[in-house]
């Protein structure tokens, strides 16, 4: 069979989130560590590669018997996310789109005048007591990003098991973080309003109901 399913929903930043962008050409006095932004709107964004990579890493921690390269991940993971291993190449069945801030008007109603915030941090070198101040840009708490994942259906049984794996990835990420500096409170997110819809081909109503039931458990 051939079909494609679109998984939509919302990712909300529960704490300030820093997914780093380039600072190679920052002017003197600019933020030391800027975040990645959409070049057209200058809105904060979550690259699809960041979300996919983080979810895969968390699932690997759960299912892999030992630490290794992504191409050596557990069969359940490589089957879904893909592998470039020689003589065992597997195309990914999931396409993660970049996600751009969608609720700037809502944030403005809370009195915000900027789409991002700058957090000042200071590290102290223990041996000398010398301070090393820095400025880190973050997407603000309450920022919302539209989730958009396209899943290519192999067969209906595999679809249901893959949805279970994606659900686990979403759940694990909600108890972890995305981006940098997670141990200092950055990058905590939550997912909601997840929904799977057939956009190409046909999948039975019973299977789609089961997929949406699984996603509702996130």
Asked, for residue 122, whether it belongs to a domain, the answer is: no
Asked, for residue 9, whether it belongs to a domain, the answer is: yes
Task: State the pLDDT at residue 122.
Answer: 64
Asked, for residue 32, whether it belongs to a domain, the answer is: no
DSSP 44-56: BEE-HHHHHHHHH
Task: State the pLDDT at residue 167.
Answer: 98
Asked, for residue 115, whether it belongs to a domain, the answer is: no
Asked, for residue 167, whether it belongs to a domain, the answer is: yes
Q: 28 phi and psi, to 5 degrees?
A: -60, 130
Check if the beta carbon of residue 24 is closer than 8 Å to that of residue 200: no
Asked, for residue 120, whether it belongs to a domain, the answer is: no
Coil, strand, or helix at residue 62? helix
Task: State the pLDDT at residue 26.
Answer: 47
Give the residue numbers spanning the domain of 177. 3-18+43-102+142-215
Residue 197's CATH number:
3.30.70
Task: State the pLDDT at residue 86.
Answer: 85
Task: State the pLDDT at residue 35.
Answer: 92
- Would you state the structure tokens that stand for residue 157, as one six-digit string? 């049984």
Asked, for residue 29, whether it belongs to a domain, the answer is: no
146/46 Cα distance (integer angstroms): 10
- Would you state the structure tokens that stand for residue 26, as one six-digit string? 């920052």
Extract the residue ranges of the chain whose pLDDT is less than 50: 24-29
Asked, for residue 188, whether it belongs to a domain, the answer is: yes
Question: How many structural domains compose the chain?
Answer: 1
Check if the beta carbon of residue 136 is closer than 8 Å to that of residue 118: yes
Contacts of 72 (CB under 8 A, 6+ apart): 64, 85
């Amino acid at each position: 069979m051939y079909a494609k399913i679109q998984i939509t929903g919302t990712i909300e930043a529960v704490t300030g989130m820093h997914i780093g962008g380039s600072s190679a050409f920052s002017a003197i006095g600019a933020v030391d560590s800027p975040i990645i932004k959409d070049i057209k709107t200058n809105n904060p964004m979550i690259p699809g590669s960041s979300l996919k990579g983080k979810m895969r890493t968390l699932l690997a921690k759960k299912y892999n018997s030992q630490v290794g390269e992504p191409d050596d991940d557990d069969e359940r993971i490589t089957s879904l996310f893909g592998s470039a291993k020689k003589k065992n190449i597997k195309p990914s069945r999931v396409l993660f789109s970049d996600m751009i801030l969608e609720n700037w008007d809502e944030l403005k109603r809370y009195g915000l005048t900027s789409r991002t915030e700058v957090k000042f941090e200071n590290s102290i070198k223990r041996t000398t007591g010398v301070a090393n101040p820095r400025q880190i840009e973050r997407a603000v708490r309450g920022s919302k990003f539209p989730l958009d994942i396209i899943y290519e259906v192999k067969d209906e049984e595999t679809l249901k098991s893959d949805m279970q794996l994606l659900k686990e990835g979403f759940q694990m990420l909600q108890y972890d973080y995305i981006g940098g500096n997670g141990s200092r409170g950055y990058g905590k997110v939550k997912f909601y309003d997840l929904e799977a819809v057939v956009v190409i081909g046909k999948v039975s109503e019973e299977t789609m109901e089961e997929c949406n039931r699984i996603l509702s458990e996130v």
